[in-house]
Amino acid sequence: MSNAVAYQDENAIITEIINGQEVLMSPRPATRHSRAAGRIYGIFFHFLRKKRCEAFFEHEVHLDDENVFVPDVLIICDKNKIKANWIDGAPDLVVEVLSPSTAIHDRGIKKDAYERAGVKEYWIADPAAKSIEVYYLKGGRLVLDHVYMIFPPEEWERMTEEQRAAARLSVKVSLYDDLIVDVREVFEDIDE
């Protein structure tokens, strides 16, 4: 892997290497960003204790020589990828929680880099929309499977019983049949 390093300085500005270019990420995330990322990590961490895979929070990932990222949450199942200070290679699952200043990268060039590296499952969690977009790697492409979201009360009331029944509020992680994340738990009281 390259000598390029993503880092976090004392002022909490994260730098990532995207397509060989150093990119300054936003300063410390907003509270709702931290809450959503922390809740997803907590669910993963508790479920994965004493299992083959391991969850990490804001940990440096060296995808290749040109791309060094610090995703919000990730899961690694190959222990050989875990180094002293970073992950060497593609995680099995990556979660990026959107911030206004990083959304373009998370949905664009970072998603493309995760795809090229072979990340099996990619989530984009949006605290503003209270949604999680889930992408699965199929035929070498990260393909949108579904958008899981909490509907505003007024919209929920206007929905038919069929629409409410079809609304998916729980995400099943592809790595384990019994690892399920309820979007209501992730975004509960997120704006407070």
pLDDT 10s per residue in the chain (192 long)? 444 444 444 455 567 666 666 666 655 668 888 999 999 999 999 999 999 999 999 999 999 988 999 999 999 999 999 999 999 999 999 999 998 877 888 899 999 999 999 999 999 999 999 999 999 999 999 999 999 999 888 998 999 998 888 888 899 999 999 999 999 999 988 875
- Strand (E) or helix (H) holding 131: strand 131-138
State whether CATH 3.40.190.10 applies to domain 13-186: no
Ranges of each domain in the chain: 13-186
Q: By the 8 A CB rule, do 73 and 22 touch?
A: no
From the CB of residue 69, how many other CB atoms can be counted at a distance below 10 Å?
A: 27
Considering the entire predicted model, what is its pTM? Answer: 0.85
